[in-house]
Amino acid sequence: MQVLKFGGTSVASAENIEKSLAVATAALAQGPVVMVVSALGGTTDALINAGRAAAAGNVEYRTALARLHERHQTTATLLLADSAAEAFARLEKHFVKLTRLCDGIFALGELSNRTLDRLMSYGELLSSQLIAAALVARGQSATWADARQLIRSNSRFGMAEVDFKTTTASFKQFQADNPAKLWVVPGFIAADAQGNTTTLGRGGSDYTAAIVAAALDAEVLEIWTDVSGMMTADPRLVRGARPIPHISYQEAMELSHFGAKVLYPPTIQPVMQRGIPLWIKNTFSPADYGTLVEVEPPRTAAVVRGISSIGNLALLNLEGSGMVGIPGFSKRLFEALARERVNVVLITQSSSEHSICVGVNSADVERARAVVDEEFATEIAAGRIDPLRPEFDLAIVALVGENMKDHPGISGKLFSALGQNGVNIRAIAQGSSEKNISTVIQAADVRKAINVVHEAFFETAYKQLNLFVLGAGNVGGKLLDQLARQQQYLLEKLGLQVRVVALASSRNCAVDDDGLNLANWPAALAAAPAQSLAEFTQLVIDKNLRNSVLVDVTANSETTACYAPLLAKSVGVVACNKVAASSEYAFYAQLKSLAQEFNAPFLFETNVGAALPVISTIQDLVRTGDTVRRFEAVLSGTLNFVFNNYDGSRPFAEVVRQAQAEGYTEPDPRLDLNGSDVARKTLILAREAGEIMEMNEVQIQGFLPESCFEGDVEAFYAQMLVHEPHFRALYDEAAATGKKLKFVAQYKDGRAAVGLQQLAPDHNLYDLRGKDNAVLFYTDRYVDQPLVIKGAGAGGDVTASGVFADIMRAARL
């Protein structure tokens, strides 16, 4: 005997029913078949809504019933063609009764649970008789069996409990009286001892199939649905979710309890007791293997079998010093909840016995609060216990697997993955069987949490990094081009999927949840709408994607305002922008603190020396116990390029223009030539060395005449031409003694200064060529011979590569 259950989507239309009939008739080759069927997809909800409308005095219920009538007649016509007349007659009888029932509800203005069960039963009665007729029309000897005559339950309407002994006897007798090889049984419905129609809970058709399989000692129970088995996670939330080919009853039960929609939780118990395999298959892809639920699935190296979640959760916290050391508090709590039929989903209690916390459905909170506060009224009045405190908008994410038992590190890996992405855990529960680790989190974090955990335990192929980029100018554009060239390499060689989810300029913001196509990002950005910085910040927060990183490739002081709120949400920050790290020390320190507190990377290597490893080196020195006593540096590739190329043979202004044309300067070259840019870099290095210092403490010894700072950039160039003799004199004075001009940054004994210097040939910075930067660190370890970092320190490509490197560091953290 085989029991095949077909869900609402499998019988939602004539076309889908044809597929289900094909599956059932093919199974006949292996032996007798019982088809358990749900109502046509959406019918049960339509019946509930019609009943509620009738009870509310709304005559729209008649329109709803008319639509259901028409849908079933249309389906019958398509399935039965010339033999539809007899089916129409049966359908008509049911709809006459259904209409009378709703008219009665309308007249009474009341919809009791008992009446609702009777109302909902028509969905399965209609579909099962229609399918039985379709089988007969195709030459099959099919028998329709009324589940209400076979499945005996108690009178708990809406969620009836089955009398298995009586039910099994009924099925055995029916089998003896009806030796047909093919039965059709309506799912979801049963009857109590008085003959009143009951239902087995939403999803109860699965349960019906399990009851039938257990009663008839079936060889297999097959659940035919619209997905190819149970998945490692909800595919609506996790794109990388994949089918689980084999799973144990216990694992399936855990996953189904915590929201795996493919299986109704009570289904497993009847077949598990009889050791009947349960196979979950896809009606629309019958060749797919699906998931086989069995007593002992084949051994697998995977530690975790699947991840599931349940929403609409609330936590109920009972706290008070009066609970400590007093037996019976938990018993009284659970008895009170049981009296109100409040189902407890999760339990956790502190070892101090000062509090106990239970998870319940949000809809049950007010009933639970009332009954618990009543139960503990005396203790609450005496101040020994606080009134019950509920917390709303929560969900459970559960990690399930038989192999988790005695396998160390699973909890640590779970909590680490969640913590690194800013998912706060409100409560934890793990049974001694170690098959399930349940975490209670904010409902808004469920999608991110499941993706993060799935990535940690299942997606060994790649890790996803989601970038939100501010700035698409010279450096930003080159960064995007570098990312585009390297995307495939990173995925294949490093297992890293880098996606630019949003790209914002000063005017537009392009967004794509699947990642922008970096081959044509300029067109996408040009066509995108405008967005403020506040809106961009909220966008990053609302997306709530795993492994999110803000990449600021601007020089804008306003953009730094979004760093703190994003770091506080565990969004990493990669800043090419020097403003944040060189602003007021309090803000710099706040960002550092937030990064540490919320486990979010705050990286700004390109603030000093473009792609040179200057900041990471000084951080490594400090972390390993060294002390930076002083440093000397040429920190402006722009200024080094200018003074290396100026020899008096052409105007100083012309050399500066060349530097700007080759992309070495800021859009306004005065920001480079006035020394403020070097001062910012010097301040950042001093702070990273451990100095508490403000920008006004860095002395700037300028070399530009004051008139160069008046007017716009073109006026600046004009004034440099006017003052060419000044620049020529600076050069000649140095050249006369065999020296070179270098704009040097210095730090020593807590003091910092930047300015133009004449360096002799024996100076370590004398031979610095082109646009190179160099930093000389003198520390307790490097006393006589400094630690030298030297290389190209300017240029869009070089700086973009430094930002890219920081992004890679963020991916590894």
Question: Do 153 and 192 touch, CB atoms closer than 8 A?
Answer: yes
Question: Do 727 and 655 touch, CB atoms closer than 8 A?
Answer: no
Q: What angle do CA 142, 144, 149 make, to 5 degrees?
A: 150
Identify the helix (H) or strand (E) that includes residue 397.
strand 389-400
Q: What gap in Å lies between CA 564 and CA 584, rounded to an integer?
A: 14
Q: What are phi and psi of 664, to 5 degrees?
A: -90, -15
Collapse the DSSP code of 805 into the 3-class scheme (helix H, G, I; strand E, B; otherwise coil) and give the result. Answer: helix
Q: What gap in Å lies between CA 242 and CA 2, rounded to an integer?
A: 27
Burial of 46 (0-12, 13-18, 19+ CB in 10 A): middle
Burial of 647 (0-12, 13-18, 19+ CB in 10 A): exposed
User: CB-based contacts of 580: which residues, under 8 Å, 6+ apart?
Assistant: 560, 563, 587, 588, 591, 604
HSE (CB half, 13 Å, CA atoms) of 166?
A: 15
Question: Do 392 and 444 touch, CB atoms closer than 8 A?
Answer: no
Q: Which amino acid type is present at position 258?
A: F
User: CB-based contacts of 653: which residues, under 8 Å, 6+ apart?
Assistant: 717, 720, 721, 724
Q: What gap in Å lies between CA 637 and CA 660, rounded to an integer?
A: 11
Q: What are phi and psi of 109, to 5 degrees?
A: 70, 30
**Bridge-based pairing state of the strands 548-552 and 425-430:** unpaired
Beta-ladder partners of 551: 469, 574
C-alpha separations of 637 from 11, 555, 633, 669 in Å: 71, 17, 11, 12
Active site residues: 681
Beta-ladder partners of 360: 314, 344
Structure tokens at 454: 């799935």
- The string of DSSP letters for 525-584 reads HHTSPP--HHHHHHHHHHH--TTEEEEE----SGGGGGHHHHHTTT-EEEE--STTTTS-
Q: Which amino acid type is present at position 732?
A: D
Q: What gap in Å lies between CA 284 and CA 239, rounded to an integer?
A: 20
HSE (CB half, 13 Å, CA atoms) of 662?
A: 16
Q: What gap in Å lies between CA 392 and CA 513, rounded to an integer?
A: 28
Burial of 352 (0-12, 13-18, 19+ CB in 10 A): exposed
User: CB-based contacts of 493: which residues, under 8 Å, 6+ apart?
Assistant: none
Edge-to-edge strands, sheet with 740-748: 698-701, 751-759, 740-748, 628-634, 772-779, 787-792
Q: Which amino acid type is present at position 157?
A: F
